[in-house]
Amino acid sequence: MSSLALSWRPLEFFLTQYKRIWRGSAITTAVTPVVYLLALGVGLGVFVDRSTDLPNGISYLEFVAPGLMAATAMQIASFESSWPVLSAIKWDRQYHAMLASPLRVRDVMLGHQAFFAFRLVTMAVIYFVVIVAFGAVESPLGVLAIPVTVLVGISFSAPIAAWAAHTQTEASFVAIFRFLILPMFLFSGTFFPISTLPAPLEVIAWFTPLWHGVTLCRDLTLGDISVAHDLMHLCYLLVVVAVGLAAAQMTYVRRLLV
Amino acid sequence: MSSNGTPLIQARDLVKRFGDFVAVDAIDFDLQRGEAFGFLGPNGAGKTSTMRMIGCVSPVTDGSLTIFGLDPAREGVKIRGRLGVVPQQDTLDMELTVRENIVIYGRYFGLGRKELGKRADELLDFVELTERANDKVEPLSGGMKRRLTIARSLVNEPEVLLLDEPTTGLDPQARHVVWDRLYRLKRQGVTLLLTTHYMDEAEQLCDRLVVMDRGKIVAEGSPRGLIEQYSTREVVELRFEDGNRPDDLGYWTEGIVDRVEALPDRVLLYAHDGDAASHQLHERGLTPESVLVRRSSLEDVFLHLTGRSLIE
């Protein structure tokens, strides 16, 4: 049987587990974008729109909303793929239970990523509906920001899961959040164009998957497509996902088959 | 023990190394269908490493291992589908209910939900957890969790059940309940392969066992056979008050017992008739603080073979 079919089985476990907390999780997922858009898009947006003219005459709300959507995917995916992955190896040991069945390491790894994708799809759909309600989507192409947001999430959950399967303790997770995820959240074009960053920082921002994701989501919701650029952004994300999954396969095997 | 031809599991010169450390050092064994076979040895003897290789989650370093005639390196998926695994450390999900744990686990094997519902009921009944079916796992006692792990491992109707230290950490009462269930499985014809460092567990459950020490198999046979081969029928345990233990035990026991084993806290005297031996020693004027005559056990076999106790 193909990997994808077998990955359904671990996914079913994670969904069963998620069923216990889905209400709280769904409420958080729905409330977060409302709060962010009210504070930044509407509140801060009044000041920004008064003092600056954004390109193409868009409002700050329209600028920041797709960026927040991508950035939220990064946060959820990073969290889900750090502690829970190490736990499934070390504390709750669910991976070991799965590997006592016909499932292979690959199925277990992809099954967990499939669960992250499920979380990201629900998050992205809810986020998108909220953005539409705020009137911040200009183009029907904007709906494609949903799969892009999921892709942004996986571009974090794949490499972070690879790291989580490698690391012995949780100590590094806090550092990852403080020194990688938080700076990316702030400086990858979500809140202001990276062209306003000092040149060296701008170059660094080009390499963050989040910047590619934010830019792509924004181009889609604004309907401001540049085929060459946007394909490049898409390819960059796909490459990060592919490399992340390959790395995860390697670290999972090394950790689980000893 | 019924042996009908090809062994279910066969190991020849099986080796597992972690870097420079040799965990399993060229062992040979066969597991026949229908038998209960044990690895007896202290912690670090290589039992768990052997179990993990059989479970296809640990690559074989050297030598050969076949399970159902298949190669674990290439046919792990097929092999695992026919095994039941009770790992040393429980891998139950604490947040799910008792029943959900069985059903989800069965889904890993690709079994249908309807069928699993039926099997979960039967298995919970078998391990006497029916009343706790809809409770979360977390608050269950250690013995109940162990029974649930056993029930779960049976969900795919395995041909061989691997039990890695099935009762370690359980109180005596809980251990007996687990033993009772395993004994029933054995009677139903399930092939059991277990590791243990409890000699009583090995004696109770195993038709045949190997004694492992430092990665090697040092003896093989039935529990009774091993005792007959490596020990006497009875053992006299002597304890002395501090400083009162004679240095020349060999002199005192000359001609009365077969062998003397001096442990830090007690002296073991191996004799066919323990009562007669202790009587004779008394006549010679040896006055220990306490004397206990008991039947020989696998512990004595292990002590004889390795010079060390099983549980240190």
Cβ–Cβ of B80/A94 closer than 8 Å?
no
Dihedral of the CA atoms A20, A25, A30, A34 (nearest 10)?
150
**A5 has a chain B CB within 8 A of its CB:** no
* B1 confidence band (pLDDT: 50, 70, 90): very low
Give the best residue of A89, A101, A254 to mutate against chain B (max B CB count within 10 A). A101
Cβ–Cβ of B96/A17 closer than 8 Å?
yes
Q: Which amino acid is at A26?
A: A
Tokens for B222, please give them.
Answer: 């039935």
Q: Which residue is closest to A19 within chain B, CA to CA?
A: B96
* A5 confidence band (pLDDT: 50, 70, 90): confident
Please give the pLDDT value at position B308. 76
**What would the pLDDT profile of B206-225 be if each residue is shown by its tens digit?**
999 999 999 999 999 999 99
Alpha carbon of B79: minimum distance to chain A alpha carbons (Å)? 8
Asked if pLDDT for residue B4 goes beyond 60, the answer is no
- Among B85, B96, B104, beta carbon nearest to A100: B85
The residues of B whose Cβ lies within 8 A of any Cβ of A are: 18, 52, 55, 57-59, 76-78, 80-81, 83, 85, 87, 89-96, 100, 104-105, 107-110, 153, 156
**What would the pLDDT profile of B158-208 be if each residue is shown by its tens digit?**
999 999 999 998 999 999 999 999 999 999 999 999 999 888 899 989 999
- Of the two residues A20 and A231, the one the predictor is more confident about is A231
**What would the pLDDT profile of A187-220 be if each residue is shown by its tens digit?**
999 999 999 999 999 999 999 999 999 999 999 9
Q: Which residue is closest to B107 within chain A, CA to CA?
A: A9
**A54 has a chain B CB within 8 A of its CB:** no
* B2 confidence band (pLDDT: 50, 70, 90): very low
- Of the two residues B124 and B3, the one the predictor is more confident about is B124
Please give the C-alpha separations between residue A230 and each of A93, A124, A216, in angstroms, as whole numbers. 41, 19, 6
Q: What share of chain A in percent tops pLDDT 70?
A: 99
Strands B160-164 and B191-196 come out as parallel
Report the greatest alpha carbon distance in chain B: 74
> Mean of the per-residue pLDDT values for chain B?
93
Please give the pLDDT value at position B285. 87
Please give the pLDDT value at position A159. 98
Angle at A195 between CA A190 and CA A197, to 5 degrees: 80
**A50 has a chain B CB within 8 A of its CB:** no
Cα–Cα distance measured from residue A165 to residue A95, given in angstroms and rounded to the nearest whole number: 11
Q: Which residues of A touch B59 (CB under 8 A)?
A: 257
Please give the pLDDT value at position B311. 61
Cα–Cα distance measured from residue A237 to residue A243, given in angstroms and rounded to the nearest whole number: 10
Query: Domain B9-220 belongs to what topology?
Result: Rossmann fold (3.40.50)
Q: Which amino acid is at B149?
A: T
**A258 has a chain B CB within 8 A of its CB:** yes
Strands B36-40 and B191-196 come out as parallel
Cβ–Cβ of A13/B91 closer than 8 Å?
no
Structural domain spans, chain B: 9-220, 232-295
- Of the two residues A63 and B5, the one the predictor is more confident about is A63
Cβ–Cβ of A13/B57 closer than 8 Å?
no
Tokens for B237, please give them.
Answer: 């345990």
Please give the pLDDT value at position B3. 47
Cβ–Cβ of A17/B83 closer than 8 Å?
no
Please give the pLDDT value at position A2. 61
Cβ–Cβ of A102/B110 closer than 8 Å?
yes
Please give the pLDDT value at position A137. 96
pTM listed for this prediction: 0.92
**A90 has a chain B CB within 8 A of its CB:** no
Give the best residue of B49, B97, B100, B108 to mutate against chain A (max A CB count within 10 A). B108
**A33 CB-near residues (< 8 Å, 6+ apart):** A68, A69, A72, A126, A127, A130, A131
Q: What share of chain A in percent tops pLDDT 90?
A: 93
Burial of B127: CB neighbours in 10 Å, binned 0-12, 13-18, 19+? buried
Give the CATH class of B232-295: alpha beta
> Mean of the per-residue pLDDT values for chain A?
95
Cβ–Cβ of A102/B108 closer than 8 Å?
yes
Q: Which residues of B touch A94 (CB under 8 A)?
A: 91, 93
How is the beta sheet containing B160-164 ordered, strand by strand?
B83-86, B160-164, B191-196, B36-40, B208-213, B216-221
* A51 confidence band (pLDDT: 50, 70, 90): confident
User: If you average pLDDT over residues B299-307, what whole number do you get?
Assistant: 87
Please give the pLDDT value at position A100. 97
Cβ–Cβ of A13/B76 closer than 8 Å?
no
CA B122, B123, B128, B129 torsion-angle sign: negative
**What would the pLDDT profile of B63-100 be if each residue is shown by its tens digit?**
999 999 999 999 999 999 999 999 999 999 998 999 99
User: Which residue do the tokens 């029974």 mark?
Assistant: B147
Cβ–Cβ of B91/A9 closer than 8 Å?
no
Distance, CA of A207 to chain centre: 16
Please give the pLDDT value at position B309. 72
DSSP annotation string for A209-227: HHHHHHHHHHHHHHT---H
- Name the 3-class secondary structure at B27: strand
- Pair B223, B286: CB distance under 8 Å: no
Task: Say if B9-220 and B232-295 have the same CATH topology.
Answer: no
| Selected residues 94-153 of chain A with any CB under 8 Å from a CB in chain B | 94, 96-104
Question: Among A211-215, B242-246, B264-268, B277-281, whose mean pLDDT is lowest?
Answer: B242-246
Alpha carbon of B212: minimum distance to chain A alpha carbons (Å)? 21
Cβ–Cβ of A103/B108 closer than 8 Å?
yes
Cβ–Cβ of A9/B110 closer than 8 Å?
yes
- Among A12, A102, A257, beta carbon nearest to B109: A102
Q: Which residues of A touch B89 (CB under 8 A)?
A: 93
Alpha carbon of A74: minimum distance to chain B alpha carbons (Å)? 26
Cα–Cα distance measured from residue B25 to residue B80, given in angstroms and rounded to the nearest whole number: 24
Q: Which residue is closest to B77 within chain A, CA to CA?
A: A102
Q: Which residues of B touch A93 (CB under 8 A)?
A: 89-91
Asked if pLDDT for residue A111 goes beyond 50, the answer is yes
Q: Which residues of A touch B91 (CB under 8 A)?
A: 92-94, 96-97, 100
